[in-house]
Structure 1
Amino acid sequence: MKIIASVLSIFRPVRFLIVAFTCTLVLFSNAFPALAIDSYQSDSTEATTQLLDIQAKTDEAGKAPPIGLRKTQKETNEGLNEVQGAADIDKQKRPENSQSSTSVEENIKNALGKVTGKN
């Protein structure tokens, strides 16, 4: 029992340093959370017209009564959905433009193959 007490008394200064370092780290992480504030900040007038059009359609859809099945199908067939239409359709991933991508299963098989050396 005396051995354990003597070993713990040796670590007393180290324990103080660990607590002091942790307190300092917490202080600075709370005092300076956004050091990237000096980086590029977008101008409030840089919004794209597509997003504004989508927002306008969303507002109209929210104020109007529920639309019927025919109108929903018509507007959905024009793009991704009845509100967004075809806005940014080229930037979104879907089966038609994702033929060269690998599935999660393939990624796992490749990672396991590398780990086990069978790849």
Structure 2
Amino acid sequence: MMIGSRLRKPPAMYRQDLYLAESSLGYHKIGISKHPYRRVEQLAVPGVLDMKLLHAVPTMFARKTERLIHDALREYRVSSEWFKLPDEVVAALCEAEGEHDLLTLFGVITP
């Protein structure tokens, strides 16, 4: 019996970063990627739209964490994953060291 072939990979194999990027137009993208630097480069349009990666945090539950943060920031949402964030929110996001910090910051979980 080949039990090993049926086992799922450990969650760490699925780890992605939740990232915050800023466009040259002042909009912010909150997304997930295994390679946030590459992803931000893909979003840029040379000569039209520059993008800068501001911060990235490793996550175990990337999609769920992303959705919860998008929901918490809905008042700043411009479209889908794009936001017009005030400076204090950007600063707070950039101080987060992990997934727990992000979820605590927006009141999703209590400290």
Q: Which of the five TM-score ranges fits, normalised by the shorter chain?
A: under 0.3
- Higher helix fraction (1 or 2): 1
- TM (norm. structure 2) is 0.23
- Higher strand fraction (1 or 2): 2
Q: Larger relative CO (CA 8 A, sep 6+): 1 or 2?
A: 2
The structure having more radius of gyration, on CA atoms, is: 1
- TM (norm. structure 1) is 0.22
